[in-house]
Amino acid sequence: MGARLAFSIDLDRCIGCRACVVACCTGNELAPGDAFIAVSEVIRRGEEGLWGSFAHHRCFHCAEAACVEVCPTGALSKWQGLTAVAAERCSGCGYCVDACPFHVPAVRDGLVSKCVGCVDQVQQGEAAWCERTCPSRAIRFGDREALLAAARERVQQLVARHPRAQVYGDAQLGGLGLLLVLLDRPGVYGLPERPTTPLLLDVWQAAVQPGALGLSALAGLTMGAAFLVARRRRALEHEAAGADGPAPAPPAGKRAGTEGGDE
Amino acid sequence: MRGKFLRGPTAMQELFEPMITGKPYPITGLVLYGTNVLHTVPNVPRTKEALAKLDFVLTIDVLPQDHVAWSDVVLPEATSLERHDDLWTCAHKTPYLAMREPAVEPLYETRPGWWIAKELGRRLGLEEFFPWQSAEEYLNQRLGSIGLTLDQVREQGGVVVQKGKPYLTDFEGGPSPFTTPSGKVELYSEPLAKSGHDPLPRYQPVAEPPAGHFRLLYGRSPVHTFARTQNTPALHALQPENEVWLNDVAAAGLGIRDGERVWLENQDGVRSGPVRVKVTPRIRPDCVFTVHGFGHDAPGMTRAHRRGASDAALQTRYALDPISGGAGLRVNFVKLVRER
């Protein structure tokens, strides 16, 4: 295993053009309506007046990746810090959908849909599609240590203008493989300060993986998980029916501050 | 038409009046190439009247846009990925030129623009103006004038950048690039004063919106380019229609909620929409804003058809700058009418 790779996004540089979304969809040849990246506006009216930024909703490539832990088929795995996807191994069970603390993966047409880290391209020495196309060079890809150092330096420059500017992803869940230079607290962007893996994962790791329980318990748990997945899918279908854009949006409760919403 | 304004050739919107009135001279034919006049020219009713009155309208376009239905003859053009185009030259601070080459052969009965131009010339007896057999030959000849070849431009990735010399010191000893009497940038202009214009532009108040109306502002989103890309699948997926931005305090006063759908109706009774309201503190209470380029009427624009509102349709009036002939379009006022 070589150096740990990562993405970084400087939200002071992002202009919200969504060229990354288009490059990702076309480069990865996604089916119409599918997308690995969603970019949304964050607008607030606080004591400093109107304030705006962009939120990027996409895979964080966690070091301690709950999705990889729960994936029963090995469709999700870690490769040099990236959470790689082998769609041909996916059973469409949706465990990753429920396990992700950031609500990133979706199941589309029976297969997992999330940022694949452009692993195939990276292995051929090419850059990720989003990084390649970003016109303001807000998105970077490469060695995580170097990106983290650059992000911290960037925050030092930004605090004069944005006192709450900070790096997100340096330590969360073992360190994220998507580092964000935020202009304000994570909550403003709809991000959890301390993301945690859901209870289901604890049960899975504590009870099932050690093989301590019998098959009946496994069956019971699977049924429980299936119920949760089915319930979640219904909820997602509900959302999809009401939403206009096909891009995967964070669930309403997790969405970053909406227009005009005061602190 | 040169002469109506102090500087520069006549702006495009001023060409439509003569098509109707025949004054100062008649215009009886029109070739529209890559220009959707129903989205780029204000006063759409006048444009339609002119298109109906012209003896002959030829349209060359890649999409079955709104104005195509007003044409006598349509020549479908190959898309940008299927054709050579003329060199793109840019003389700004960092001058560059760029070339375009086809990635694939044209589909269906479409032809590249250069082929259409050359063939029209040949069939109209103007062959001498097209003394080249292929686009490559033409491009090579043009590049040759600055000592380049097509292959050299290809090797450089299709773009040749030259370091700019944007500062006046670079012209020391030679004539100034500014054609002003002083040879400098002039804030106070004697030539303007002599021709009876304001030598130092002063703010002139503009009409305020009537009661119940908002000034219609327009602009762009970073996703779409003019009125050209609303039907493009990847971009349509990101932004399928525009919204009308409405100040949050004004919205509360009207009892209009975020996400409601309304028609926009201008001071002349022209309607466009329906369009979703975006309630936001980011706009003045006396204005509304919408992203330009939506509200396509043509059924052939399968995705963009009747999505959102057209700012161009609502711009039945415009102000004219007597110096440049440029049109000021933000002089239209709209009210918001609930969809049902």
- Touching check for B280 and chain A: CB below 8 Å? yes
Distance CA(B132)–CA(B296), nearest Å, equals 38
Q: Report angle CA A127, A130, A134 to the nearest 5 degrees.
A: 105
> What's the half-sphere exposure (Cβ side, CA atoms, 13 Å) at A185?
8
Enumerate residues 6+ apart whose C-beta is below 8 A from A230: none
> What's the half-sphere exposure (Cβ side, CA atoms, 13 Å) at A37?
29
What average pLDDT does this structure show over B146-166? 86
What average pLDDT does this structure show over A37-41? 96
Nearest CA among B272, B236, B293, B306 for reference residue B40: B293
- Touching check for B340 and chain A: CB below 8 Å? no
Whole-number average pLDDT of chain A: 84
**From the CA atom positions of chain B, what is the Rg in Å?**
24
State yes or no: pLDDT of B272 exceeds 60: yes
CB A19 within 8 A of CB A27: no
Enumerate residues 6+ apart whose C-beta is below 8 A from B151: none
Please state the φ and ψ torsions of residue B87, each to the nearest 5 degrees.
-60, 140
**Assembly ipTM:** 0.83
- Touching check for B222 and chain A: CB below 8 Å? yes
The percent of residues in chain B predicted with pLDDT above 90, rounded, is 78
Task: Give pLDDT, residue B202.
Answer: 87
Give chain A's contact residues with B (Cβ, < 8 Å): 15-19, 21-22, 25-26, 32-33, 35, 43, 45, 50, 52, 244-247, 259-260
Closest Cβ–Cβ partner in B235, B240, B281 for A260:
B281
Alpha-carbon distance A115 to nearest alpha carbon in chain B (angstroms): 17
State yes or no: pLDDT of A214 exceeds 90: no
Closest Cβ–Cβ partner in B238, B241, B282 for A18:
B238
CB pair distance less than 8 Å for A17 and B223: yes
- Positive/negative CA dihedral, A51, A54, A57, A60: negative
Element spanning A156, H or E: helix A144-158
| Contacting residues of A for B282, CB less than 8 Å apart | 43, 50, 52, 259
**pLDDT confidence of A213, banded at 50, 70, 90?**
very low
Task: Give pLDDT, residue A31.
Answer: 92
**From the CA atom positions of chain A, what is the Rg in Å?**
19
> What's the half-sphere exposure (Cβ side, CA atoms, 13 Å) at B264?
31
The token pair that represents A52 in the structure block: 């705006």
Task: Give pLDDT, residue A46.
Answer: 76
Nearest CA among B100, B88, B95 for reference residue B136: B100
Looking at per-residue pLDDT, the higher value among B277 and B176 belongs to B277
Alpha-carbon distance B222 to nearest alpha carbon in chain A (angstroms): 5
State yes or no: pLDDT of B188 exceeds 70: yes
Instruction: Give the 3-state secondary structure of residue B189.
Output: coil
Task: Give pLDDT, residue B2.
Answer: 46
Taking CA atoms, B132 is separated from A74, A81, B106, B142, B263, in Å, by 60, 56, 20, 11, 52
State yes or no: pLDDT of B21 exceeds 60: yes
